[in-house]
Amino acid sequence: MSSPRRNDELSPRLRALADLMPGEMREGAGMHDYDGRVCDLSPAGVEAALARLGGDPLDDPHDEAHTAAFEEGLRVELGELELHRSNPLHHLGLLDVSGYDRPYAPEADRARAREAHLAQWPRAVDNALAAMDRVPAPVARSLIGAARGLADGLPQGIPEDLRETALAAHTRLIAHLEKAAVHGPASAALGADALARLMGAGEAAEVDLEDLAARADAERDRLRDRLAASVSRLAPGRGAMEAARELTRQYPDAEEVLDSARRWTELASAFTAERGLVPFDDGECLVDVSPPSQRWATAMMAWSGPWEADTPSFYYITPPDPSWGEEETGEWLEMFSHTTLPAISVHEVAPGHFSHSRALRRAPSPARRALQSMAFAEGWAHYAEEMCLEEGFGEYAAERLGDPSWTADHYEVGVWLEALIRVTRLSVAIGVHTGAMTVEEAAARFSEDTPLQGPAALSEAQRATFDPTYGRYTWGKLEILRLREEARTRWGDGFGTARFHAALLDLGSPPLGLIGTALERG
């Protein structure tokens, strides 16, 4: 096992950024000197922290642009738009102690860090209450469940006085959100200009929402056509979405979900390594049940960060709650269907998030290792799903499974269904925040264009109110695909998938507006 990097390699300029993002530094970058720490998101605290951003230019022009983009992103998000005053998600992230469940260090060390973090809850809640004076009612209603969940699953062994003090602070936070849910502003829309600034500033990009919405519509139409073609081979004469929804109702039993995910992890990892799709295919990725504190997600990757010792990463799967009835259990297991779980595993593991994490550990500068664009990270993993289809993963898996009931067409259908959900998020985010679409109309859009129905479609639509950039999956994918076509043209006979991926991942997880550096240096 390798030793963790020293955190003192961060320059004062990077340290000022990291201090405003302690959760991202702990869990994405693996900087555990941020264990037990929160930042001050009160109005005065944010003003002081933003004033500390900036400094001497970095030697490498790309790293300078990368760092400057993150600085500008925070100035827009917290300074210009003051989203810490209207979006509780910023404060909920500060309180989250679920990251200490992952075994990146001995249990005793993580327990001490968790207790130190819980001791910060009263101060963090005080700062949150000082800041959150303009939370829209629909945002409060959408997030109050997640806020309550912060207190669920706290492990045994926490000193009782610490638990009581932390939970008392948590109760004050919940009361504030309950009040906002009734009395807050009626609209959650940021407005077109604010959304464009929020999306583009941290990505070093100018965002034209009309153009992006048109690209999203064109992508939806392409995906519909591809879904219809794939379904026609599996269920001739049937409606594409109707037949696809029927396929998602074929899923493993609750006891078999982990084994199924492990099998798809093995296949995706072996395929990625054999085809040389990513520059690094080392490391250990374990498939396990999600810790209790993280069971709000169906599946997720918790990777070993660049500043950590090289401990195992975890592909977490959340099985249905044993207390659920048959119908609720079935609806949950549909998300792990034999049609969709293969694409989910490619996304989360290889050549998606886990493979990306292995490259992040080797990124050549502290800026590239620490400052991770989620639009790129999610765009990369989403791109990986269809790229593996192009490379023949469906046929590869079908041959090795030896199960006549599963074919390459099942993988294709899963890719198109997952992609339709992601592209609808992009369309809905733009619609909701420009005022062109209500949440109810957004839910209807999910019901029409994706397999999601009823409460699931409404939940996805409500997410747009508090996660306005959740179209990042499709946006990132489209930008990577556009760059790949440019690489084919520029490199000519020298183009290769492995070369393109290596050049791209050498940038770490770069702002989308800077990915062109891969062609200049690759």
Same structural domain for residues 450 and 373?
Answer: yes
Residue 204 domain flag? no
Same structural domain for residues 226 and 179?
Answer: no
- Distance (Å, whole) CA 430 – CA 213: 7
pLDDT confidence of residue 324: 83
Same structural domain for residues 229 and 361?
Answer: yes
Same structural domain for residues 167 and 220?
Answer: no
336-371 per-position pLDDT tens digit: 999 999 999 999 999 999 999 999 999 999 999 999
Residue 197 domain flag? no
Residue 304 domain flag? yes
Give Cβ neighbours of residue 385 (< 8 Å, ≥ 6 apart): 343, 346, 347, 352, 415, 418, 419
User: Residues 192-196: contacts with CB within 8 Å, 24+ apart?
Assistant: 192/433, 192/434, 194/81, 194/433, 195/429, 195/430, 195/433, 195/434, 195/468
Hey, what amino acid is at 278?
V
**Token couple for 44:** 């005065």
Q: How many residues does the chain have?
A: 522
pLDDT confidence of residue 1: 46
Contact call for residues 474 and 376 (beta carbons, < 8 A):
no
Q: How many CB atoms lie within 10 A of CB 132?
A: 22
Task: Report how far apart the first and last C-alpha atoms of the chain are (Å, whole number).
Answer: 30
Q: Using alpha carbons, select from 188, 193, 218, 191 the residue that is nearest to residue 207.
A: 193
Residue 77 domain flag? no
pLDDT confidence of residue 327: 84
Give Cβ neighbours of residue 436 (< 8 Å, ≥ 6 apart): 430
Residues spanned by the domain of 460: 209-521
Would you give the DSSP letter of residue 75? I
- Distance (Å, whole) CA 343 – CA 419: 10
Give me the phi and psi of 288, to 5 degrees please: -150, 170
Mode of pairing for the β-strands spanning 285-289 and 313-317: parallel
Residue 68 domain flag? no
Same structural domain for residues 236 and 284?
Answer: yes
Same structural domain for residues 323 and 400?
Answer: yes
- Distance (Å, whole) CA 314 – CA 96: 18
Same structural domain for residues 179 and 249?
Answer: no
Same structural domain for residues 262 and 381?
Answer: yes
- Distance (Å, whole) CA 359 – CA 173: 39
Same structural domain for residues 485 and 416?
Answer: yes
* Radius of gyration in angstroms for the set of CA atoms belonging to the chain, rounded to a whole number: 22
- Distance (Å, whole) CA 52 – CA 207: 27
pTM of the model: 0.96
Q: Which residues of the chain have pLDDT under 50?
A: 1
Q: Helix, strand or coil for residue 287?
A: strand
- Distance (Å, whole) CA 227 – CA 461: 22
pLDDT confidence of residue 3: 54
* Residue 249 to residues 325, 331, 342, 455, 505, Cα–Cα distance (Å): 16, 8, 15, 17, 36
Residue 198 domain flag? no
* Residue 347 to residues 242, 249, 323, 355, 477, Cα–Cα distance (Å): 25, 21, 29, 10, 12
- Distance (Å, whole) CA 335 – CA 260: 13
Domain tally, the chain: 2
Same structural domain for residues 225 and 259?
Answer: yes
Q: Helix, strand or coil for residue 77?
A: helix
Residue 1 domain flag? no
Same structural domain for residues 248 and 122?
Answer: no
Same structural domain for residues 253 and 185?
Answer: no
191-242 per-position pLDDT tens digit: 999 999 999 999 999 999 999 999 999 999 999 999 999 999 999 999 999 9
Residue 71 domain flag? no
